[in-house]
Amino acid sequence: MKIRHIPYQAAIIITIGVYLYYLIYRVRYTINPESLILSLGFFYAEAHGFLALSLFFFQIWQPAERKAPPSNPGLSVDVYIPTYNEDISILRKTALGCVNMRYPHTTYILDDGNRPELAKEAAKWGCKYITRKERKDAKAGNLNNALRCTDGDYVAIFDADFVPQPNFLDKTIGYFRDPKVAFVQTPHNYYNIDSFQFRINKKKEQSWNEQDIFYRLMMPCKDYWNAAFFAGSAAVFRKQALEDIGGMVTGNITEDINTTILLYSRGWKGIYHNEVLSNGLAAKDLKNYHTQLLRWAEGNIGLLFVNNPLFVRGLTIPQRICFFSVIFGWLIGFPKFIYFILPPVMILSGGYPIGSFDFSFVWRYVMFLGVILFGFKFACRGYGKIRYDESYLMMNFFIFIKAALKNMLRQKSIFKVTGKGMQTSTTMLEIIPQTFLCLICFAGIAWGGLKLWYGISSDYLGIGVAIFWSFVNGFLAMSGIELVTRPYFKRKEFRFIGTIPVQFAVMSNVGSASSVGISRDLNENGISLITFIHLPIDTKILLSLYLNEKIVTCRATVLYTAHSGNPYRHLQGKMFIHGLKFEGLSREEMDVISMYCFNTILPRFLQRYGKKASVFIRIMFKFYNHERFRKHVRKKITIPVIIYRNGKPLFPVVSNDVSASGLSFTTYTPMELGAILNMEIFTPFGKFFAEGEIKQVREIVAENSYFIGVKFSHLYDRAEDIRVRSVEKDDQASLNRWLKTFPKGKS
């Protein structure tokens, strides 16, 4: 046991202890015989919560910490992409990502849709094509058919929308040095952050996805108990292990976890490599998301009746607990519905679930609730976001109940493919449960207020608490409805958020103008470009996109233009945002842009918006690095910079931050510490030239992204220099004055 895990484990023990004390107090002193149904229902929800939290805490007791071993050379690897009806443009990205993985392999398209046009495209992509006459056993049957048709010793599996990184196999194949390892699973990550499942805070550079806690915390901790499981995609299998159990398990719509349980029962091992090495598409709308969620819930709850891990021979006790926890977690719909509806029912009916709703109960409840909330958040090591988690449960509790009831009634589950096309609008039918809860909560609030106002009841404490929880639940329902019904961009292809330097030239009847701008977002069809000159709508321009060592040159048309808004109102008329559509790109050039987005922009975004250290650690880091005492404060300003050496331009970059004493930028290649750079720096007020020394070089994304910190050694006075500098003689003072026009910490 490592010392750094002890605080989290202590928090787990204290939280469970307080919860158990509270339940004992509840059952001994607070059951209300006058409202027995409400009282027992509420106690069931709390008891269910205790068991669920205990199982959850058991799973996250301690994460396994793995470092990818060196890859084994010379292994025979097949890569499978199972598909049924996914758009060929989506498949193309996955196929290109698979083909471009560095470790030698053969890529197969497994088409259950039997599409001749896909067979032709697969050959162009460098993939082999496999199909079958019937779709028996859906995805599991498709994979089993491919296992019989191919002869590789190892099999990597990617869903049709999952694009792997070039080093995927290099990072995973080395684990198979252990002859007992059956599979290596990696995290699922989703790149279309405009999906309603995401929350993005650009100011704090934080992101949240409802599956992060599972893939980045729970799965590594399950790995500690040797209970990590195959998640359907982004995994590598030893073919011998699959042959040992007769292939992927069929007869259940969640073939992944069933296959894992059978492998473990035969003595095989699973590995979880906790590093994002591929990226897929999240469901774009509520309908497709609920289709996916219902399939997962039905399949996992179905394990209670078929292949129940509590009774499967060969599993260890921790494995039984971990797999049962997965099943039990999908049964949360019933207690959550009770929590959501009980406060307004309590007000409207006048019945109390608590026998003695007095101060003695209230202080214990407040203590219990505070400890549970803090304990959960702390034990989750930064991945648990209580507000977002509750909002997620509000939108999905009805699906969990539906899945449980279908299993109890033994209705047959049908495998439905999650739609990956254009987003569709949410209908009122899809949000009936949340609308009902919203209405009943606010009806309870209104009636409770009237009862107190007109003296119908004098129970200010009881009704006040019920009104408070009704408001909380009503707010969750309203915010969920607003989230899934808000207007959305009808762009088919997601734009990747990231900055690249872009040189552009505008041709006109009176001559040409050229300059350098930076992207705000990008895909193979277009770009959002920030410039310091105005480009009118319908203007035709020539672009040079700097994509690491490759430069893509193309023409583009300006579709819209806008002044920069808040927080840069002072830059109106000097800084502009343009929407550009590419024209005349070849398919190969579009693929270059697409792969750059997946392999460079996306990993940099994940690094920037990933889990942050605690506030305490960040404060200590600042003091340790003397940031608190810096004379010049770094500001997160993204502007284009051209790097020169020996008087010749090397390449353009985009700054991460700038101060009067230096700047930093990210590049695809490491640079020599102590090297002297000459830089041409573009600003909304003009450009200036500087000489600087590289003081810091740090790898931030393996193999393709390096942070470079530069300290200015000289700022040159030239006619082209920034205009505001001309009012002062001191170079650094002038630059600092310009930097003060930017809000602190904004980018």
pLDDT band (50, 70, 90) for residue 650: confident
CA torsion sign, 433 to 435 to 437 to 440?
negative
d(CA 230, CA 248) in angstroms, rounded, equals 11
Cβ proximity of 709 and 628 under 8 Å: no
pLDDT band of 726, cuts 50, 70, 90:
very low
Summarised one tens digit per residue, pLDDT across range 241-263 is 999 999 999 888 888 999 999 99
Are residue 141 and residue 200 in the same domain, yes or no?
Answer: yes
pLDDT band at residue 665 using 50, 70 and 90 as cut-offs: very high
What tokens does 39 get?
């009282």
Chain position carrying tokens 């792997």:
164
Which 8-state DSSP code applies to residue 417?
Answer: P
Tell me the C-alpha distance between 728 and 725, whole Å: 6
Q: How far is CA 615 from CA 12, 345, 612, in A?
A: 21, 41, 9
SS3 636: coil
Q: Report the percent of the chain where pLDDT is more than 90.
A: 65
Interatomic CA distance for residues 246 and 54, integer angstroms: 35
Final residue before a domain boundary, out of 605, 626, 652: 605
Read out DSSP for 319-342? HHHHHHHHHHHTTTHHHHHHHHHH
First to last CA, the chain: 41
Does residue 481 sit in the same domain as residue 528? no
Phi, psi of 237 (to 5 degrees): -115, 150
- In terms of domains, do 480 and 504 share one? no
In a domain, 289, yes or no: no
Residue 261: how many CB atoms within 10 A of its CB? 24
Q: Is residue 67, in this structure, part of any structural domain at all?
A: no
Which residue's structure tokens are 């669920």? 52
Which residue, 686, 670, 672, 680, is CA-closest to 724? 686
CA distance 116 to 109: 12
Q: Whole-angstrom Cα distance, residue 182 to residue 239?
A: 8
Question: What is the CATH number for 213?
Answer: 3.90.550.10
As to burial, measured by CB atoms within 10 angstroms (0-12 exposed, 13-18 middle, 19+ buried), residue 407 is buried
Q: How far apart are CA 385 and CA 283, in angstroms?
A: 21
For the chain, state the CA radius of gyration.
Answer: 29
- 305 occurs within a structural domain: no
CA angle (587 as vertex; 581, 593 as ends), nearest 5: 60
Q: Does residue 658 sit within a domain?
A: yes
Q: Report DSSP letters for 247-314, one per residue.
A: SS--SSS-HHHHHHHHHHHTT-EEEE--S--EEBPPP-SHHHHHHHHHHHHHHHHGGGTSS-TTT-TT
pLDDT tens digits for 502-526?
A: 999 987 665 567 889 999 999 999 9
- pLDDT-based confidence at 306, cuts 50/70/90? confident
- Are residues 539 and 685 both part of a single domain? no
Identify the helix (H) or strand (E) that includes residue 689: strand 686-701
Q: 57 near 12, Cβ under 8 Å? A: yes
260 and 149 in one domain?
A: yes
How far from chain centre, in Å, is Cα 542? 35
In a domain, 317, yes or no: no
Is the pLDDT higher at 538 or at 204?
A: 538
Same domain, 112 and 224: yes
420-424, 485-489, 526-530, 594-598: the lowest-pLDDT one: 420-424
Q: Are residues 14 and 43 in the same domain?
A: yes
pLDDT of residue 213: 92
Residue 403 lies in a domain: yes
Q: Same domain for 130 and 259?
A: yes
| One domain for residues 397 and 516 | no
How far are the Cα atoms of 544, 595, 651, 680 from residue 551, in angstroms, in the given order?
Answer: 6, 13, 10, 19
Does residue 592 belong to any structural domain of this protein? yes
Residue 380 phi, psi dihedral angles, 5° rounding: -80, 0
Residue 293 sits at φ, ψ, to 5 deg, of: -65, -40
**SS3 for 552-599, per residue?**
EEEEEEEEEEEECCCCCHHHCCCCEEEEEEEECCCHHHHHHHHHHHHH
Contact 279, 598 (CB under 8 A): yes
Boundaries of domain holding 539: 496-605
Q: Do β-strands 154-157 and 77-83 pair in parallel, antiparallel, or remain unpaired?
A: parallel
Q: How far apart are CA 116 and CA 196, in angstroms?
A: 35
Q: Which residues pair with 529 in a beta bridge?
A: 519, 578
Instruction: Please report how many Cα atoms fall inside a 13 Å half-sphere around the Cα of residue 191, on the Cβ side.
Output: 34
* Model confidence pLDDT, tens digit, residues 484-503: 887 665 567 889 999 999 99
Q: Please state whether beta strands 206-209 and 198-201 pair in parallel, antiparallel, or not at all (unpaired).
A: antiparallel
Res 738: pLDDT = 59
Q: What is the pLDDT of residue 570?
A: 54
pLDDT at 252: 81
Task: Give residue 725's pLDDT.
Answer: 40
In a domain, 88, yes or no: yes
CB contact set of 571 (below 8 Å; sequence gap of 6+)? 563, 564, 684, 741
Q: Decide which of 248, 282, 316 is a domain's last residue.
A: 282
What tokens were used for 20?
């158990």
152 and 189 fall within a common domain: yes
Q: State residue 568's pLDDT score.
A: 54
Calpha distance 636→20 (Å, rounded): 48
Task: Pick 206 or 49 by higher pLDDT.
Answer: 49
Specify the number of domains making up the chain.
4
pLDDT at 425: 75
Q: What is the mean pLDDT of the chain?
A: 88
pLDDT tens track for 704-713? 899 999 999 8
Tell me the C-alpha distance between 194 and 171, whole Å. 29
> Which of 314-323, 453-462, 730-739 has the weakest average pLDDT?
730-739
Instruction: Select from 528, 576, 518 the least CA-distant residue to 556.
Output: 528
Residues 189 and 233 in one domain: yes
Residue 326: both structure tokens together: 């997965």
Pairwise CA distance, residues 560 & 580, whole Å = 7
Q: Would you say 42 and 120 are in contact if contact means Cβ atoms under 8 Å apart?
A: no
- Give the three-class secondary structure for 668: coil
- What are the E-state strand segments in 52-139? 77-83, 106-111, 128-131
Q: In the structure encoding, which two tokens stand for residue 189, read together?
A: 């990550």
By CB neighbour count within 10 A (0-12 exposed, 13-18 middle, 19+ buried), where does 566 fall?
exposed
CB 682 within 8 A of CB 639: yes
Q: Which of 563, 585, 605 is the last residue of a domain?
A: 605
Q: Rounded distance, CA 86 to CA 139, Å?
A: 13
pLDDT of residue 429: 85
Q: What local confidence, expressed as pLDDT, does residue 253 receive? A: 80
Query: From residue 388, how far is each of 11, 339, 377, 479, 490 by CA, in Å?
Result: 22, 16, 12, 11, 25
Q: Are residues 585 and 655 in the same domain?
A: no
> What pLDDT is attached to residue 525?
94
pLDDT of amino acid 721: 45
Of the chain, the percentage scoring pLDDT greater than 70 comes to: 88
Closest CA to 162 of 117, 107, 238: 107
Give the domain CATH number at 722. Answer: 2.40.10.220
pLDDT in tens, 137-176: 889 999 999 999 999 999 999 999 999 999 999 999 999 9
Quickly state the pLDDT bin for 117 (edges 50, 70, 90): very high
Burial of 395 (0-12, 13-18, 19+ CB in 10 A): buried
The angle formed by the CA atoms of residues 660, 662 and 667, to the nearest 5 degrees, is: 145
